[in-house]
Amino acid sequence: MPRILRQILSCRGIEEFFVALESALNRGLITPAGIAWLRQKTNDAGRDAIDFARPDADSGLESLLRWRLRRHGLSIRAQVSIVSVGRVDFLIGERVIVEVDGRGNHAGAERRHNDLVRDANAAAWGYVTLRFDYALVVHDWETVELAILNHVERFG
């Protein structure tokens, strides 16, 4: 796995490397020895990504969002349990919930209704929920970033 990750970094760039690295960490596909080898055999950008990586991302979208927001120095907690809401993808600051929805987990009327119920419960407890899908995170990052930053500034 470490050699594959190094190849991803050299061929696909730092974002795809980071996403693949967090996925490997989450699934237990890379050992501490593998991380040490990778740290030794990679560049400064790769080592920076290794230092920032965590095993708690449940999806590549979550990893990508956290990676792209890191330059803003926000307090971002992942997989946080909130009373009456359940586990959320991210809590930024004290009151901004960010959910990144992959197509498979949130398709269909029933799942959409469940998301709306969660969002309403979050609002009842004083949280604001921002919900983004794959297309927004990957192809319209500027809008996602501005929405998050403006809400953190207002409600954070």
d(CA 134, CA 116): 18
As a whole number, mean pLDDT of residues 41-52 equals: 96
Asked if residue 16 has pLDDT above 70, the reply is yes
For the segment 96-122, the average pLDDT, to the nearest whole number, is 82
Query: 129, 123 in Cβ contact below 8 A?
Result: yes
Mean pLDDT confidence for 35-41: 96
**List of residues 6+ apart from 28 with CB closer than 8 A:** none
Q: Is the pLDDT of residue 105 over 60?
A: no
57 against 96, higher pLDDT: 96
Whole-prediction pTM value? 0.87
What is the reported pLDDT for 44?
Answer: 96
pLDDT score, position 155: 83
Q: Is the separation of the CB atoms in 82 and 88 below 8 Å?
A: yes
Provide the CATH number for the domain formed by 60-155 in this structure: 3.40.960.10
Q: Where in the chain is the domain with CATH 3.40.960.10?
A: 60-155
